[in-house]
Every structure is written in C-alpha cells, then in structure tokens.
Structure 1
C-alpha cells in the first residue's frame, strides 16, 4: 500500500467534498482521519482516501441495484 500523504487541496479535488464537509464527516467517523504532520500541518494517507472512495462507489452501486 502507498504511504503517500496528500494535503487538503488534493483531498478536496479527489473527493469533490468541501473543507467543511470533510471535517464534518471526520467528526462523525464517516471519513478517514487526518494525520498530524507538525504543529500546523495535516494530511491524509492517499490509500485511506482511495479506499473511502471505493467504498462510496460500491455503496452507491449496491443502492442502485436494490
């Protein structure tokens, strides 16, 4: 698995979610948690974001087939 860390602009671009939606979903345990990169920097594991996207796609396809 990739250990690449991506920052918020790339997470927003990959997911199509706004900053506030990302943080709201994180607080509800509906989105991967960020990783501290220092006192004022955070990021996400790219593999966690990709897995979350795959889960969303699978759930959407399952809901459309019911």
Structure 2
C-alpha cells in the first residue's frame, strides 16, 4: 500500500483528501480552508483553488505544497 507521503525536491510531500482541506464536522475534522464542498469545487473551476491529483480511478487528493501556497496567498489577501 502506498504511503500518503513521499519526498519531493528534498522536502516531504503529503496529499490531503477533501475532508482534510474543508473539514468534516460529523467526524470532528477541522478544515484548513473553511468553505463548503460546492464552493471548493467552484473555486477549482474558476482557477482560485488548485486542481486535485488522481491517485487512483476513484481517489483524488491535493498536494500539500499546493494547499500551503493557497493558504499563504489567502493570508496575504490575494484571491
């Protein structure tokens, strides 16, 4: 089974699933970016949020580096 973490450019790369990014109140997971699922996918379509990486036919995830860059950009007030 593949680990969700690997090395990229000498630093550790992690993949986030959607529930880790936007949160999941039912399971007590606090989101990194507190938006709805619909708003997240609309943001991807508009180019505001990063596109997912297909890990398998039915599994998508987002690179931690892409999410970190998004958080930094949003923190600076850049949409």
Same fold per TM (> 0.5)?
Answer: yes
Structure that is richer in strand per residue: 2
Residue of structure 2 equivalent to 1:8: 18
Cα deviation, residue 2, structure 1: 3.4
TM-score w.r.t. the length of structure 1 is 0.83
Check if 1:19 corresponds to 2:37. yes
TM-score w.r.t. the length of structure 2 is 0.70
- Structure 1: which 5+ residue stretches go unaligned? 61-66
Cα distance change, pair 17–43 in 1 and its aligned pair in 2 (3 A): same
* Contact 1:7 1:42 survives alignment (8 Å): yes
State the superposition RMSD in angstroms: 1.2
* Contact 1:4 1:46 survives alignment (8 Å): yes
- Structure 2: which 5+ residue stretches go unaligned? 1-10, 23-30
Structure that is richer in helix per residue: 1
